[in-house]
Structure 1
Amino acid sequence: MAHVAYIKLVPASKKQTITLEELKQLFEHYRSICKKTGEQLGWNYIDSAFPYEYDETSEAILLKGKDARYQTIECRVGHENEHSFIQITLPKNATHGDKGKANEFCKFIAKQLEGELHLFNGRVMYFYKR
């Protein structure tokens, strides 16, 4: 059974809508931060921090794992009741590594957008000013 997390963009968020291209730019921003961290530490941290390659479709961004510890994370953008959201899905074949990285990516994206994060375990984290 697939596990799903959501990042909802609420009225207090930095943005009210988001596209797949903007979501990809957020992943690229995450990668650039990790690359700079690796340069400061003197090792190739980016391979550990973002062990995925992009496989894009018109409806989703698929993050495909580069090694056996990581399989797939699926990212979609949607709209519900005039609010946008990002859906992060872990398919049946996802590993524990995928779940850990997906949680990390969700928190980063929610913090950047100041959204409302609904985690895989059902808990909610608020990254906007209330």
Structure 2
Amino acid sequence: MTAARVVPDLLTPLARAASLETGLGLTLRRLVRATGAAAGAVGFRPPRGAPLVVVAGGPGPVTDALRGVVSESPGGARRLTAALGRARRRVRCQPLGPPGRPLGAVALVGRPGARGPTALPAGF
């Protein structure tokens, strides 16, 4: 995957999936793998319809906390992000959509003790 193709390659499953939830799951698994994260979550709140939350990574408290990070209010998300950070894991959370009116969020958590940030690809 070249740097210029990172985002288009990550988003390809969204166009090909049978459902939005399936496409988000495939895209999230690719993103977790591409960034070296231990787990990730994406929450999507469409203007119409029910919110979707998809988690990738092993089961347990980390994925439960990530589910909360992308589905909570900003204050609740900050508390959960801080709790994950105390477990010596780097956490990145990025809103999705226009500033002031996000449609969701994506969150990634690094492996315990990993050095350096878990970074989202440029242009994501």
TM-score of the superposed pair, with normalisation by structure 1:
0.27
Q: Counting helix residues as a fraction of each chain, which structure ranks higher?
A: 2
TM-score of the superposed pair, with normalisation by structure 2:
0.28
Question: Rg: which structure is higher?
Answer: 1
Q: Counting strand residues as a fraction of each chain, which structure ranks higher?
A: 1
Q: Which has the higher contact order (CA 8 A, sep 6+)?
A: 1
